[in-house]
Structure 1
């Protein structure tokens, strides 16, 4: 009878008090649990002892292999299973004992699933590495950082000595909330550079430096490290597939589509079954407007096998169907889009991008809010906070005010519910009620700084609009606001008082409400909107006659300007148009900023009137000209669009030359502008060739050319030239367009 082998657990830890207990609990039942503490000050060692672990203390020498090898010397079991403190073993110890009892190999790899999203437990990246091995004196870890024992085992026992296993670990060290709290990335970069001094051509170290640069949000630096790693990496290196993938992703991140595609195609040639590469290629093709080709790449990803690769969960399932849903939506194939999103949600019912997508597709098909919400909530299951926070975000982005009220009202003890209802009130122009809820949220809950800044802005905007709707209330700034919010509030109030002083009868309904108004109010609000448009155009044409334009504004600080611009973006993102239309009356530069925000929010008619007035006075900038040209292209006014775009092209080219190609906004604007020009030129070519054929119909080659041009239009039309809008912004746009059509029919 075989001797029953003993199993020891080795954990290296430092300041892991929050993690060590759960880690040790996941491996209870092992013969020995050894925790090597490298200098904790948060009670990690005592918690480990309380969990019946043996604790040793090691001096930290900035060298992971040294620490692990010193710890291994204290462990005398037959087999060793190595975990990090932020990992959990998902496989039972009894199953692992069965594996090693019959094992003929020296070591086994385990599958490590690293979560990458704080809320969504399904989103993770998966890789395999040696963590279970026989305890032999000759086996040792190597490497200052990203240490590995596999090379030592293979060197002594041969390539066949390591086998894959069914063992799975869960790792949460890559969660954004944890990464932000710790300085591991800075430490990793320091140790990797130290390792590089010992071997300047080690491709794995170079690769690690590139990964760390990506994690530090420096993809341009990462590319340099990745290219050096590729230069020295052996063809059969286990990490070469991910190195190629990450190189392509870094190029994609900085907009270098050609290089990204080249590296992705190289990777696909060497690793045709790697689904991550096919999905990445789909994203690259999508950015180039090659939507049909992107769909084909997604189809290949669905059939790829990812078992032998480091991969992101869902790259051959729900992530692919979500991408296909977005591509079909961009092609106007909304039924097919909804079907792909539905398939993704069957595989992962709470995947937020798929939820956003299916709501958008259904809205484009004209399905009403109540039916969409019923469908989504059946997929979701029990709508309980805080787990249902993603669903509230989906409804907010869609402008589903009644659904927000329905699911949030019974759960007001949760901050997500308060914010959800406050958003619903702001959508429906009920700013007084929204301000009350936002104040309660700010007073009753401890919030992260970025969330508090967002809520302070929305609270201030709601109070501002409350003052406009009911001047007798005279709402005051909240004492808990930051100094920047207080300053922006006082600026808004001062500007509002000046505007109201210029108006004998202030109009509190400057523009009609966003999409969640009752149908019987649409005609009234549309009429009000027409009056507002006429007033705005008249004000632009006769601006010199208004005291407002003559008033010299005192300069404002850069910080105040940034806060005000952030508030305009908030109103734009939430498609809350009333405050924007009022803010536009504050004069230069706010009128242009607010009208561009209205355009993005889907309120295109009023923005177009402003752009036309500005153009008549030769005050239209390149961005405004592109927005106006988009409306002309939608209506088939090709010549007029070309005139605008060619003028905008000169301005944009001048800006690019003065500010450089590194300006992402300018680069994207130039790409969009040239895509629009391409479409307009081809459409004009079709118009003129059609006229020529009518005059001389007996030349068959011309008809062939016309057919080719029509095919070109269908391809060029897929280029990214249209404004990207959220679901609520699209719904606003559809309402504006349908109201305009209804009014034109009645007139």
Structure 2
């Protein structure tokens, strides 16, 4: 029996993969359901009728409002809920039925909460609260061929069109209509996954939307709301340059009172950040985060921009403001004790004075000001999940770790996990800072397991139920991310055998732990040739299987070689022959020169992929062996030192700095260094405190490439350190010289900013371990012979 309180109205086209899930989530309440089909060629109408829906057929007229309005006059229920097929209920349905009869007669529209998934992981969702519920037969209808808006009687009382729906894209939120600032929030929560990157890749929604938006702009040139949505659509299509142009035009013409303006500012700032236009983003948010003081997303983005500019103290405070936005909101979990915890964290950093001329609007240095809830209108912002909690805490933890406040950093990562126990970056950060603090792998594992037990009793903010196995999976991955492969494998071999780890990951961890015999046995058990389980391997996974065979001095099977792309197979065959200990290294001479050249070229390209994987798994002896064999069969393999420099860069980025330095010093003696190589050598020398020598190397990098940003920043930092050294030396002679003291203070602040700019190679736990490990000698060969 259908209830007469609430009816569902939808428009669909070819939604057979989503519709059943959507309708099934409402099945328990027996709602009246009207589905307007605009020309499906799949099983959509059949599925709709199976759930008892009334299916209305119409032609698609390039007009969403036209299609959505068809079913509204047919409603026999008091309330109408408008849905899309790629949405479904996750909570609040029964509560909604209890809530609706209590709504005052003067209220005719209600907001609901929607989580728009923009990625597969925890926290990759955008929260928005559009008006989707309204009373039937009250004169409501939709207007607009795209991003249709709910209107009544054509206009609002003041003559302004009334609209209130929204939608999202894969990485930037947009409003399908105006945000309703004052309508009550009903207790219904949906999930929308129609704009997941994987879903967008299968269809043409962005191109369809762009076409309709261009039609709207042809009718109403310069309309800022449509320009904004054009920008969002270009983001979906991956063209952020055109997105920035559209956002700029929209921002210039959008009224300050427009309810969608806050979301426009957010998305505009995201694009500027993604494009590296940090100064523009800085000035935009320096003003706008004051206007929207409770918008956590703006504070978080502002912090990211400040980090890129080297303003780490102020970035930290901006992240703290983002976390503070949670206070005072419904469902707040930031209690006074939590505030007190954060208030004491990293205090030395956030109490340092800011550059007085770095912003149009000064930020307060007072912690009381940072944590005071600002006076503001109650706004319903479109927001990324976690910006006001676990993402902000994780960003603060990362900065505290970078500045050497390791205990505070670990505490902040733990706070993040207290808000969202499935947030992988917080698990990774916690394992990383514990390793940096000198904890043993056993201690790291114990701490992570204790944190899981502590936080798994709290409620996750994301949808769905987190099982014990899911949580332990995060612990295992965090251990592996920190290079504690032995502990990760030990946990997998313990009582928790239900932890879900992909076979490819497990094999990779075995190689990284140098358990090569066990890796070989695992390959034989999991990738049976008879079952053809190697056919669907990714190139990287195929290399891991081959590497497992070669480090055990075995040849790769013909079936594995057969899975490679046709143009690569000759290279695989040559590599297999090359690494067969039973064979002499040679090149077949019974083939024509062109064929031999093509085979050598394929083998050379393949050798790069194999070398990268060998270095990542720590198989340096094998990497050296492969390199030497390639030199024997191909005298041009390292012509001009190109390959040696490439190999040095691979080693350096994985933390094998000494092995990389060996190669680069040999190349330098033969005049073979490029800008990147000079930078790596300069950075290695800088890390040892030899600033004059580092400066010379950075300058040589700039002579090779004047656009080398990292070398330019390195040179600037060296100049500052050398100047500071001179000032400090002078102060020993004249300790009361106020001019020198003032110069020292200014220069130290400038040095902190310059050091904060992300110019140095980032080494995490795995790379730090490699810096301390025994490193194979990589002086390759004498090219002068």
Aligning the two structures, in what range does the TM-score lie when normalised by the shorter sequence?
A: 0.7 to 0.9
Determine the C-alpha separation between the residues in 1 that align with 2:447 and 2:405. 20
Determine the C-alpha separation between the residues in 2 that align with 1:486 and 1:384. 44
Determine the C-alpha separation between the residues in 2 that align with 1:136 and 1:647. 76
Query: Contact 1:331–1:718 (CA<8 Å) still a contact in 2?
Result: no
- Alignment of 1:22 with 2:21, yes or no, is yes
**Greater Cα shift, 681-690 or 255-264:** 681-690
User: Residue by residue, what CA displacement relative to the aligned partner does 1:218-252 show, whole Å, maximum 9, x if unpaired?
Assistant: 11110011112112222211110110111111011
**Greater Cα shift, 273-282 or 93-102:** 93-102
- Alignment of 1:62 with 2:62, yes or no, is yes
Aligned partner of 1:531 in structure 2 is none
User: Residue by residue, what CA displacement relative to the aligned partner does 1:141-183 show, whole Å, maximum 9, x if unpaired?
Assistant: 1111111214767626998997132232221223333233332
Determine the C-alpha separation between the residues in 2 that align with 1:157 and 1:676. 59
Query: Contact 2:477–2:488 (CA<8 Å) still a contact in 1?
Result: no
Query: Contact 2:473–2:500 (CA<8 Å) still a contact in 1?
Result: no
Q: What SS class does the counterpart of residue 174 from structure 1 fall into?
A: coil
Cα displacement (A) at 1:285: 1.0
Q: What SS class does the counterpart of residue 725 from structure 1 fall into?
A: coil
Aligned partner of 2:620 in structure 1 is 577
Aligned partner of 1:45 in structure 2 is 45
Aligned partner of 1:594 in structure 2 is 647
Query: Contact 1:81–1:133 (CA<8 Å) still a contact in 2?
Result: yes
Query: Contact 1:125–1:312 (CA<8 Å) still a contact in 2?
Result: yes
- Alignment of 1:626 with 2:669, yes or no, is no
User: Residue by residue, what CA displacement relative to the aligned partner does 1:365-419 show, whole Å, maximum 9, x if unpaired?
Assistant: 0111122122223444698667765544433322222233234447889883423
Aligned partner of 1:204 in structure 2 is 225
Task: Say if 1:83 and 1:576 are closer, same or farther in 2 by CA, change over 3 A.
Answer: farther
Aligned partner of 1:405 in structure 2 is 489
Determine the C-alpha separation between the residues in 2 that align with 1:86 and 1:112. 12
Task: Say if 1:31 and 1:492 are closer, same or farther in 2 by CA, change over 3 A.
Answer: closer
Determine the C-alpha separation between the residues in 1 that align with 2:47 and 2:671. 72
Aligned partner of 1:603 in structure 2 is 656
Q: What SS class does the counterpart of residue 305 from structure 2 fall into?
A: helix
Determine the C-alpha separation between the residues in 1 that align with 2:96 and 2:139. 27
| Matched ranges for 1:312-461 at <5 A | 312-380=384-452, 390-409=474-493, 416-435=501-520, 437-438=522-523, 452-461=538-547
Task: Say if 1:68 and 1:156 are closer, same or farther in 2 by CA, change over 3 A.
Answer: farther
Determine the C-alpha separation between the residues in 2 that align with 1:83 and 1:733. 55
TM-score (normalizing by structure 1) = 0.81
Cα displacement (A) at 1:591: 2.4
Aligned partner of 1:264 in structure 2 is 285
Query: Contact 1:418–1:438 (CA<8 Å) still a contact in 2?
Result: no
Task: Say if 1:205 and 1:647 are closer, same or farther in 2 by CA, change over 3 A.
Answer: same
Cα displacement (A) at 1:113: 1.3
**Greater Cα shift, 228-237 or 695-704:** 695-704
Aligned partner of 1:533 in structure 2 is none
Determine the C-alpha separation between the residues in 2 that align with 1:430 and 1:484. 32
Among 675, 681, 684, the alignment partner of 2:713 is 675
Determine the C-alpha separation between the residues in 2 that align with 1:429 and 1:566. 19
**Greater Cα shift, 214-223 or 711-720:** 711-720
Cα displacement (A) at 1:622: 0.9
Task: Say if 1:596 and 1:455 are closer, same or farther in 2 by CA, change over 3 A.
Answer: same
Cα displacement (A) at 1:57: 2.0
Cα displacement (A) at 1:108: 1.5
Which ranges in structure 1 are unaligned for 5 or more consecutive residues? Answer: 504-552, 657-669, 740-747
**Greater Cα shift, 610-619 or 694-703:** 694-703
Determine the C-alpha separation between the residues in 2 that align with 1:72 and 1:563. 61
Cα displacement (A) at 1:186: 2.3
Among 684, 691, 708, the alignment partner of 1:638 is 691
Query: Contact 1:264–1:281 (CA<8 Å) still a contact in 2?
Result: yes
- Alignment of 1:687 with 2:725, yes or no, is yes
TM-score (normalizing by structure 2) = 0.77
Query: Contact 1:7–1:80 (CA<8 Å) still a contact in 2?
Result: yes
Q: RMSD value over aligned CA atoms?
A: 3.4
Cα displacement (A) at 1:500: 9.8
Task: Say if 1:108 and 1:30 are closer, same or farther in 2 by CA, change over 3 A.
Answer: farther
Task: Say if 1:31 and 1:628 are closer, same or farther in 2 by CA, change over 3 A.
Answer: closer
- Alignment of 1:193 with 2:209, yes or no, is no
Aligned partner of 2:667 in structure 1 is 614
| Matched ranges for 1:243-282 at <5 A | 243-282=264-303
Aligned partner of 2:575 in structure 1 is 492
Determine the C-alpha separation between the residues in 2 that align with 1:289 and 1:441. 48
User: Residue by residue, what CA displacement relative to the aligned partner does 1:570-628 show, whole Å, maximum 9, x if unpaired?
Assistant: 44555553444334434513322222111111111111121111112211111111111
**Greater Cα shift, 385-394 or 192-201:** 385-394
Among 290, 297, 310, the alignment partner of 2:382 is 310
**Greater Cα shift, 80-89 or 337-346:** 80-89
Task: Say if 1:697 and 1:447 are closer, same or farther in 2 by CA, change over 3 A.
Answer: same
Aligned partner of 1:721 in structure 2 is 759
Query: Contact 1:106–1:161 (CA<8 Å) still a contact in 2?
Result: no
User: Residue by residue, what CA displacement relative to the aligned partner does 1:240-299 show, whole Å, maximum 9, x if unpaired?
Assistant: 011011111101101111111122223213211111000101111111221111111111
Aligned partner of 1:164 in structure 2 is 184
Cα displacement (A) at 1:686: 2.5
Cα displacement (A) at 1:42: 3.0
Cα displacement (A) at 1:45: 1.9
Task: Say if 1:42 and 1:6 are closer, same or farther in 2 by CA, change over 3 A.
Answer: same
Determine the C-alpha separation between the residues in 2 that align with 1:447 and 1:189. 41
Aligned partner of 2:137 in structure 1 is 136
Please identify which structure carries the higher helix content: 1
Aligned partner of 1:532 in structure 2 is none
Determine the C-alpha separation between the residues in 2 that align with 1:581 and 1:148. 64
Cα displacement (A) at 1:695: 6.3
Query: Contact 2:73–2:137 (CA<8 Å) still a contact in 1?
Result: no
User: Residue by residue, what CA displacement relative to the aligned partner does 1:474-519 show, whole Å, maximum 9, x if unpaired?
Assistant: 765613333355344335346657999699xxxxxxxxxxxxxxxx
**Greater Cα shift, 597-606 or 556-565:** 556-565
Cα displacement (A) at 1:211: 0.9
Determine the C-alpha separation between the residues in 1 that align with 2:574 and 2:289. 56
Aligned partner of 1:546 in structure 2 is none
Aligned partner of 2:458 in structure 1 is none
